[in-house]
Amino acid sequence: MTEVIWPLDLRPGQQAFFIRTNTRRFESPLTGHVQVQELDGARWVAQMGFTRGAIDARRMDAFLAALEGPVGTIQMPDFRRLSAKGSLAGSPQLVSGTGSTLTLSGFTPDAVGVLLAGDLIQTSTGRAHMVVQDVDADSMGDASAAIAPILRDPVTPGPLVTDNCRVLMRLLDDNQASNPTDNRLQTSFELQLIEILPEQ
């Protein structure tokens, strides 16, 4: 099975990169009352649109062919969030995590806004999580970060990684290498990718 690390210079012209929740909805036919239940299985989904000239189109053709459709895997970044907007004051470390919370240390004591809502954190290879609330450090330089989606793999303790965070994904189906090309040799690609969840 081939794994591709998507190059940062092949930036999409447009993209959607979001956490698709997994919910079940019940509506009473008598009262119209609605109940919504959250299920496990929330995951990252990406949709990428590219239009490239001949040289880059050939590169993309090669990447996609090497993947053999959904068999191969891609380490894909969110091109809107290649670096954190929080201050990251100090020498932050990822200590541990469980559920939807990460434990961090090494910030400048009492620093405000060390991470901001929307920042990404790489918790292990192929697992990136979004900070969902602004984070401040306490008097010891420690902090807790609320994240989504929930953790499914153990975190890798060490220096906090917030640049070029990547998600382990696969192509949605066997038609993703479709490459319509116009008479100016401009080739279009519309990729749909979905996060690979660990086996339970």
CA dist 152 and 8 (Å) reads 26
As a CATH number, domain 90-159 is: 2.40.30.290
**Matching residue, tokens 């961090």:** 104
CA dist 200 and 194 (Å) reads 17
Q: Tell me: the pLDDT tens digits for 163-187?
A: 999 999 999 999 999 999 999 999 9
177 vs 163, 181, 193, CA distance in Å?
A: 28, 12, 12
Distance of CA 32 to the CA centre of its chain: 36
Residue span(s) of the chain under CATH 2.40.30.290 come to 90-159
Q: Tell me: the pLDDT tens digits for 30-81?
A: 787 888 777 778 999 999 999 999 999 999 999 899 999 999 999 999 999 9
DSSP, residue by residue, 23-42: EEEEE-TTT--EEEEE-S--
Q: What integer is the mean pLDDT of 110-130?
A: 97
128 vs 122, 162, 163, CA distance in Å?
A: 4, 9, 11
Q: Give the other-Cβ count within 10 Å of 139's Cβ.
A: 7
Tokens of 133: 């609330």
Amino acid at 7: P
Q: Are 36 and 102 in contact (CB under 8 A)?
A: no
pLDDT at 69: 92
CA dist 50 and 53 (Å) reads 10
Model-level pTM?
0.90
